[in-house]
Structure 1
């Protein structure tokens, strides 16, 4: 075992204790009270649904591809943690429009801005969260997928801060001209088209040079080659200050892709539970029977928008 990581949580109770030290309600409330401007762009997917990717696209578009930053969230601040990290949300940024990151639902996100939200298949989003937490929020090999699933999906569904509420709240804004909805899978399938769509939404003229640069710099290969700029360094330092945990935990938000290791596969019982959640939270409410129906509906929005 790597001694530098010996203090990482090994149980979900220990993870709860870590979260309580790091994610303080005061900071979230201050973020929610932020007075955004009509020109601001808030990138607001749920966790592990394309946030970092969209941050890199948006920042590249507004700066013509500047990579002059320590970590992407230094130049596109995380609204909920800005207070904890000593970041002034009202400050001018490197370029216009100002760009921010958030995981808040429509109910809680600061209003009066413009918003980009990408959705992701709930199974893939869950697995991605597990992979991200492993080695960052818990000791590898100590919390298996089943335990983690039950921790992330309690009977209360994580209430109004969970995946399902987040998705439903943003889907209700599908006709809002200040909201751009995307699907992670369709971003992968047509990445050049995604860059063009985001540029148009941000009102940024897209010449051939800028287009090529953003497509290149927001590619998985490029971001992996520069993964230290997408590794949550400010957040890791905050965790270390609050908990005494090492700073050098593995928190890269860019990964090489799916793994074949069975431990990263959802059990049939977990998949069934996610389908039940979808039915209860989305099918009955919006007539979207499965995630593919949501993808189809968003593609239709793009064709008519």
Structure 2
């Protein structure tokens, strides 16, 4: 029998009830990661390019191992398992993967991940993440129209299962921008400079890359391609667990890939003021950057 509400939430308070209920379920198969130095953690913050980099990483290693890509999966997070949600999905994080190196998804800061591995992070404008996160949750986690975008701020700050808030994540990885174990880019740069990002990722992960593999991965990471295969990027494992445990229908739209990107201009002024206030309090004093655009210029320069 499902715990929680047994349905999608209709308020912020009901969202908290549903997610709180998940903690009460025992696990049978869960086993935490036994890390290896070659492991790659794709650990962007929520709605900041995680799925895009998961797809890029998986197709890179499959092209190197087999000479072709791979779409024979129901959920990209079965190929690069999601560390943060493993207890919810009752997953053994040490199951064999299709190719080397092993890859894992996370939304966490450096301090809560296994040390001594490799980390790939893309950073995104907070307003864009806000709109994208709202679009993603509406119609899946909560009933359409039941929570206004103005009310969504506490849910955005929560960051999802096992995650951290946007600012903690950004500051953690900004501090590691020059570390050899960390590949840091902005989401916008990674999308606009896809070939360069593929080359950076292959070199960083020690995955061989030739011209034919580059062309293959370029095609399979385009928005058009991923949108045509959006059912592969819809959190099927998480959706199944939420249906079984808290009664949230798994047939609702939970795809990560949208036909068009999220527009930061849709953030209401009052919410934008909250986002800016936390940036001014926490990020600007540490980084010297008054806003994300300024910080992005520094990070983009790392790509050459």
TM-score, scaled to structure 1: 0.88
User: Alpha-carbon deviations, 1:227-270, whole Å to 9, x = none?
Assistant: 1111111100100111122220110000111478x9x8112222
Q: What runs of 5+ residues in structure 2 fail to find an aligned partner?
A: 1-5, 64-68
2:279 maps to 1:278:
yes
Q: What is the RMSD of the two structures over their aligned residues, measured on CA atoms?
A: 2.5
SS in structure 2 of the partner of residue 139 of structure 1: coil
Q: How many residues align?
A: 290
- Structure 2 residue aligned with 1:3: none
1:177-213 Cα deviation digits (max 9, x unpaired): 0100010111122111111111111111211111011
CA distance in 1: counterparts of 2:201 and 2:127, whole angstroms: 26
TM-score normalised to structure 2 length: 0.89
Residues 22 and 238 in structure 1, CA contact (< 8 A), matched pair in contact too: no
CA distance in 2, matches of 1:26, 1:38: 30
Partner Cα distance (2:192, 2:280) in 1: 26
Deviation at 1:35, TM superposition (A): 3.0
- After the TM superposition, which residues 181-200 of structure 1 pair with which residues of structure 2 at under 5 Å, given as runs? 181-200=184-203
Q: Residue in 2 aligned with 1:66? A: 70
Q: Would you say the 8 A contact 1:35–1:111 is kept in 2?
A: no
Residue equivalent to 1:157: none
**Which position in structure 2 is the counterpart of 1:20?**
20
Q: Please tell me whether residue 234 in structure 1 is matched to residue 234 in structure 2.
A: no
1:22–1:242 contact (8 Å) kept in structure 2: yes
Aligned CA distance change for structure 1 residues 198 and 240 (closer, same or farther; 3 Å) = same
2:182 to 179, 183, 198: 179
Which position in structure 2 is the counterpart of 1:288? 289
Q: Shift of the alpha carbon at 1:151?
A: 4.4
In structure 2, relative to structure 1, the CA distance for the partners of 1:84 and 1:147 (3 Å cut) is: closer
Runs of 4+ in 1 over 6 A off after TM superposition: 24-27
Match of 2:45 in 1: 46
1:244 maps to: 247
CA offsets per residue over residues 51-71 of structure 1, 9 Å max, x none?
000000000000011111111
Distance (whole Å) between structure 2 residues aligned to residue 135 and residue 151 of structure 1: 15
Structure 1: 5+ residue runs without aligned partners? 1-5, 155-159
